Amino acid sequence: MSVVPVSYYLVLSGILFGLGVVAFVFKRNIITIFMAIELMLNAVNLAFVAFARAHNQLDGLVFVFFVIVVAAAEAAVGLAIVIVIMHNRETLNVERVNLLKF
Amino acid sequence: MSLPFLVFFACAILAVAGAIVLIVAREPIHSALALILVMMALAVLYILLGAEFIAAVQIIVYAGAVMVLFVFVIMLLNAGVEERTDWSKIAKWIGLPLGFFLLLEVAHWLAHSSVGKAVANGAGGPQTAFSTTELSTALFRQYLFPFEATSILILIAILGALVLARKAE
């Protein structure tokens, strides 16, 4: 039974990360922008697991754990901030949250 | 084409399709469901790579907890159709070429650098799955300090979310 080469996973990871960057830049809804960040983190996780498999070492998987933990913490704090923004400014569009914009 | 390749390409196409739907969907809830699809496809890929425990954590924590949080906030804020605005000039004239350049650079690196070649030629290592026992041993021995640090990080995140979400006095 042949095995899928690790480079295939890395290319998929790169494509997903690129799509995450595109979503991050082009979306206007602040919740969707958070989702784009989660997509990028997922792409990085795939690269970590693929490299762990390539070198046959466990350390990559441990890093995936830490990435997942940080992503969960970031989502909790970020969504709390989103709720506060919604209460104060009545909008989810990032272009209307422009108080600090020059 | 053998079974692993079929599974890989099926999941890869699902993941990329989900990411594209995330970008083009105008309702945030559609984007959230597309992202859940991406995470499920990635979980199958983790199993294919032999990282079964990571796949389980991916489904339980990411697709379960984190995405439920997202869907809950979307429901709570009654987030409707996204407003479209014109592309900013910076995004159009600098962002797009730079994004394209980034993709080219990654492709070039994979194709030509020695590290990329070494990785690309490796057949993905032996096909035995990573053992969960060894993983937990590494996590609680070698990486004990980062593990404890993340627990403090989570505590801070909980406190931060509470402080942010409480009623203004």
CB pairs under 8 A between A and B: 222
Beta-carbon separation of B73 and A79 below 8 A: yes
Best of A1, A3, A15, A84 to mutate (most B CBs within 10 Å, chain B): A3
Statement to judge: residues B2 and B64 lie in one domain: yes
Question: DSSP secondary-structure letter at A94?
Answer: G
- Mean per-residue pLDDT for B116-122? 57
- Rounded to two decimals, the ipTM of the complex is 0.91
SS3 content of chain B, % helix, strand, coil (to 5): 80, 0, 20
Beta-carbon separation of A8 and B12 below 8 A: yes
Quick one: tokens of A43? 């792409």
In sequence order, the β-bridge partners of residue A93 are A29
What is the biggest distance separating any 2 CA atoms in chain B, rounded to whole angstroms? 65
A-contacting residues in B 138-157 (Cβ below 8 Å): 138-139, 142-143, 146, 150, 153-154, 156-157
CATH number assigned to the domain covering A6-90:
1.10.287.3510
The pLDDT of residue B108 is 77
Could you tell me if residue B118 is inside a domain?
no
Contact indicator for B32, A35 with CB cutoff of 8 Å? yes
Could you tell me if residue B17 is inside a domain?
yes
Q: How many domains does chain B have?
A: 2
- Helix crossing, B114-121 with B96-112: angle to 10°? 70
User: What is the distance between the alpha carbons of residues B19 and A13, in angstroms, rounded to a whole number?
Assistant: 12
Statement to judge: residues B4 and B66 lie in one domain: yes
Q: What range does the domain containing B22 cover?
A: 1-81
Average pLDDT, 10 consecutive residues per value, chain A (102 residues):
77 88 86 93 93 86 92 91 86 80 70
**CATH number, domain at B4?**
1.20.120.1200
Could you tell me if residue B91 is inside a domain?
no
Could you tell me if residue B96 is inside a domain?
no
Beta-carbon separation of B4 and A8 below 8 A: no
Give domain limits for chain A: 6-90
Model confidence pTM above 0.95: no
- Closest residue of A to B147, CA-based? A66
The residue among A6, A4, A19 whose CA lies nearest residue B17 is A19
pLDDT tens figures, B85-115: 666 677 678 877 887 787 788 777 766 766 6
The pLDDT of residue A5 is 83
